[in-house]
Amino acid sequence: MENGPNDASTSARYGDVERRLLRTLISSVSTSNDFRTALQTTLRAVCEETGWDYGEAWIPSVAGDVLECSQQCHAPAPELASYRESSRHVVFPPDVGLPGRVWTSKEPEWIPDVSALPKTRFLRVDIAREVGLKAAVGVPIVADKQVLAVLAFFMFESRDEDGWALEMVSVAATELGALLRRVQAEERNRWHQNTQAMINALLHLSLETLTLTETLDRALRLIVSLPWLKIESRGSVSLVEDESDTLTLAAQCGLAQELCELCRSVPFGTCHCGRAAASGQTVFTGHLDESHEIHHQGMTPHGHYCVPIMFDGHVRGVLNTYVEEGHTHEKAEQAALEAAADVLASVIERKRTVEALAVNRASFLSAMRTAGDTLVIVDQKGVITALDPSELSPEQPDQDGIQRNHHPALPGTVADAGPATEILESVAAGYRVIRMLGSGTTGFVFLVEKDNRQFAMKVLREHGDRRESVARMKRFFREAEILSNIEHPAVVRIHQLGFSTKGKQAPYLLMEYVSGHPLTRYIAGDNLTLAQKLSVIGQITDALVAVHGQHILHRDIKPANILIGPDQRIKITDFGIARLHDSALTATHDVMGTPAYMAPESFQSGPVDHRADLFSVGAVSYELITGEKPFRGASPMAIGYNVCNSAVRDPADLVPSLPPQVQSLLLRSLHKEPDARFASAAEFSGAIAAIPDDIIASFPDETR
């Protein structure tokens, strides 16, 4: 091929063509948000305005498909990288099979038989005249040294201006590269939004009162119904039931290589591909057809894709999906399915915990039940007392006043537990007790370890009074039930409700252990910036969105019940006096909490709803930002009186340079009238997010 136009008139003519082509390309790129449409327009324009007879483009469509040079450009990856860096062209022989999507300027039959074309690495190539193809060229569209697509053009007749036509391909690739980067960024954003919506739907589904099997069936139906995933209307989830279940990958995951690698490292054993079906439960959705039967005989059907369901580093199951005919999962689709598998892992763990709680609670009450409807309680001296079951009702009021401080932080050792030592020894079988984390009026909390995992074990404290024992047992069960219904990263997670198998069958809760300190330490030390303090408050309100979404009132939001980890992520703890709230049946006469953080209506006989928790958040926020509690008093009754009748001190008096937006936030959250406060935790979070970053950033680190 020649290097370009060789006289003035030809040069002028080609200059007009070049400008016209550029206008077409730029117009297509600037007016289109659809890369594929712009790509087809570009292919047609280049062929119409230059000497190329036919153009194609290949776009990678699967994870790891970076247009392998050895298959698609017949050049090793390093060589192609050097071409990319110097903006040179690479030859792209047209006889290569491509896994990527193909877009063309004309119908495929326009290409002659090119099966005999030689493979080459040269910049340009002359093809044997007998096949009728003079030249073929491929130009990569590159961003950040990664091949995003390849333009391929073919010429069947000899022309003098081939060199100029070749340069036009580079122009087209440059313009398309700019568009592709923009469009891919927009597509990533759409995929992120779609994936997040799917995750939220799955999490919401997990909170419904369904069995594990019902939940997985609904989750599968949801996943396969999403049109943007291009999945057939069927799928399955295979579960691990015990350590001997090796998931027999030939039957359950189609010999998925990545899962085989995991199976070689997980505790429950080595993958035995090709053996009988696994013992674990399998939940299907959609129809079972021939491909399913083949799949379960150890063969991989066309379009099968599986993702391991992992929890705490262990394989809990496999999510199997089947793609539409001729479709290959793109990287974003695989990421979405992996996100779904992560959510399913949490759902499976939570549902199994809930079901175990139900079984354990039923077993415990059954063990205590004697003839008829009578229950028995064993006190400290081993005396068995008959008790009417109605006394365990959560609707019974507590008898011990308005203040409840469950766990003042009292560090110590197991020996410090005193009366709890015997109970701990009976309930902690199989666990290594590290130390006591704290104690309160209802129980002790220990740090324990099992299988290299640490947990917080809360043991119910014994009490000599029969009615108090009933009240404590009631709150203990209620805390377990409420925690099992909440799924949020800022709420401490419950793993197990257990009962000792010897002695007095003392109940215990096995919960997530949070390595951190209570918010009280940060209030006293004042080592957080205003931005960090607002972040903590925002995390609390975000968590309450999930809590209130389950119709649960915490009723004891205070600094001691908020833990901050090393990464400054918070955990809300102690749901011992939380209760379920029904808007049609609002709780009354149930005065509990810590007076300095309780809402005015909590001291009165009227209704109490979720806005009481938001008042508590306001009190915590006020103290965190100003260093002082909003309401003080010499006794609980005096504090309660001030909460109900005294005006809160303007936070600007304590922190003069506090931004007005923050002052308004604090004062609104502490309003006496619930209707004048934030209507919901979500609105509270929105008010925090609405404070401009530049105002927060300009505020001095020392807030007081």
CATH number at residue 137: 3.30.450.40
Burial environment of residue 159 by CB neighbours within 10 A (0 to 12, 13 to 18, 19 or more): middle
3-state secondary structure at position 443: strand
The torsion of the CA quartet 422, 426, 428, 429, rounded to 10 degrees, works out to 140
Per DSSP, what are the bridge partners of residue 444? Answer: 439, 459
**623 and 491 part of one domain:** no
Q: How far is CA 10 from the centre of its chain?
A: 61
Burial environment of residue 674 by CB neighbours within 10 A (0 to 12, 13 to 18, 19 or more): buried
Indicate the pTM of the whole model: 0.45
CATH number of 346's domain: 3.30.450
User: E strand or H helix at 448, and its extent?
Assistant: strand 443-450
d(CA 191, CA 340): 13
In our burial notation (b when 16+ CB lie closer than 10 A, e otherwise), range 345-383 reads: bbbbbbbebbeebeebbeebeeebeeeeeebebbbeeee
3-state secondary structure at position 540: helix
Share of the chain above pLDDT 90, in %: 13
Q: Is residue 113 part of a domain?
A: yes
**181 and 235 part of one domain:** no
User: E strand or H helix at 292, and its extent?
Assistant: helix 290-296
Asked if residues 487 and 206 have their Cβ atoms less than 8 Å apart, the reply is yes
Select from 186, 220, 236 the last residue of a domain. Answer: 186
Q: What pLDDT score was predicted for residue 149?
A: 67
In our burial notation (b when 16+ CB lie closer than 10 A, e otherwise), range 241-263 reads: eeeebbbbbbbbbbbbeebeebb
Share of the chain above pLDDT 70, in %: 47
Asked if residues 136 and 127 have their Cβ atoms less than 8 Å apart, the reply is yes
**240 and 163 part of one domain:** no
**375 and 349 part of one domain:** no
Q: How far is CA 368 from the centre of its chain?
A: 41
Residues 641-664 have a mean pLDDT of 91
Q: Is residue 195 part of a domain?
A: no
655's tokens = 């922190």
- Which of 134-148, 475-489, 490-504 is the least confident region? 134-148
Does 12 or 60 have the greater pLDDT score?
Answer: 12
Q: What pLDDT score was predicted for residue 579?
A: 63
**17 and 165 part of one domain:** yes
Query: Which of 233-242, 570-579, 625-634 shows the highest mean pLDDT?
Result: 625-634
331's tokens = 């990287």
Select from 488, 512, 536 the last residue of a domain. Answer: 512
* The residue type at 62: V
Q: How far is CA 484 from the centre of its chain?
A: 18
Assess whether pLDDT exceeds 90 at residue 527.
no
Assess whether pLDDT exceeds 90 at residue 622.
yes
Q: Is residue 192 part of a domain?
A: no
CATH number of 505's domain: 3.30.200.20
d(CA 318, CA 620): 44
Assess whether pLDDT exceeds 80 at residue 215.
yes
**133 and 234 part of one domain:** no
DSSP E strands in 172-325: the ranges are 231-239, 282-285, 304-311, 314-323
Asked if residues 391 and 376 have their Cβ atoms less than 8 Å apart, the reply is no
DSSP letter string, 296-342:
HTT-PPTTEEEEEEEETTEEEEEEEEEEPTT----HHHHHHHHHHHH
Reference 330, options 60, 61, 67; nearest CA is: 61
**672 and 606 part of one domain:** yes
Does 612 or 314 have the greater pLDDT score?
Answer: 612
Does 607 or 250 have the greater pLDDT score?
Answer: 607
Q: What pLDDT score was predicted for residue 411?
A: 29
**494 and 521 part of one domain:** no
Q: Is residue 643 part of a domain?
A: yes
Does 625 or 273 have the greater pLDDT score?
Answer: 625
469's tokens = 């024992």
Assess whether pLDDT exceeds 60 at residue 362.
no
User: E strand or H helix at 564, and its extent?
Assistant: strand 562-564
Q: What pLDDT score was predicted for residue 256?
A: 42
608's tokens = 């109490």
Other CB atoms within 10 Å distance of the CB of residue 339: 17
CATH number of 521's domain: 1.10.510.10
Catalytic residues: 556
The torsion of the CA quartet 396, 402, 406, 412, rounded to 10 degrees, works out to -140
Q: What pLDDT score was predicted for residue 439?
A: 72
Q: Kind of pairing, strands 314-323 and 231-239?
A: antiparallel
Q: What pLDDT score was predicted for residue 204?
A: 77
Select from 479, 512, 545 the last residue of a domain. Answer: 512
**330 and 390 part of one domain:** no
Reference 279, options 234, 238, 220; nearest CA is: 238
Q: Is residue 392 part of a domain?
A: yes
Does 628 or 434 have the greater pLDDT score?
Answer: 628
**539 and 681 part of one domain:** yes
Q: What pLDDT score was predicted for residue 147?
A: 58
Asked if residues 177 and 170 have their Cβ atoms less than 8 Å apart, the reply is no
**276 and 141 part of one domain:** no
- Cα 271–Cα 277–Cα 282 angle in degrees, nearest 5: 105
Asked if residues 471 and 400 have their Cβ atoms less than 8 Å apart, the reply is yes
Q: Is residue 443 part of a domain?
A: yes
Total count of domains within the chain: 4
Q: Is residue 320 part of a domain?
A: yes
Assess whether pLDDT exceeds 80 at residue 541.
yes
**C-alpha distance from residue 575 to each of 296, 483, 532 (Å):** 46, 7, 25
The count of residues in the chain is 704
User: E strand or H helix at 173, and its extent?
Assistant: helix 162-206
Query: Domain residues for 377?
Result: 369-512
Q: Is residue 360 part of a domain?
A: no
132's tokens = 């009728």
**422 and 569 part of one domain:** no
| DSSP structure class, residue 686 | H
In our burial notation (b when 16+ CB lie closer than 10 A, e otherwise), range 168-179 reads: bbebbbebbbeb
Assess whether pLDDT exceeds 50 at residue 180.
yes
Q: What pLDDT score was predicted for residue 354?
A: 67
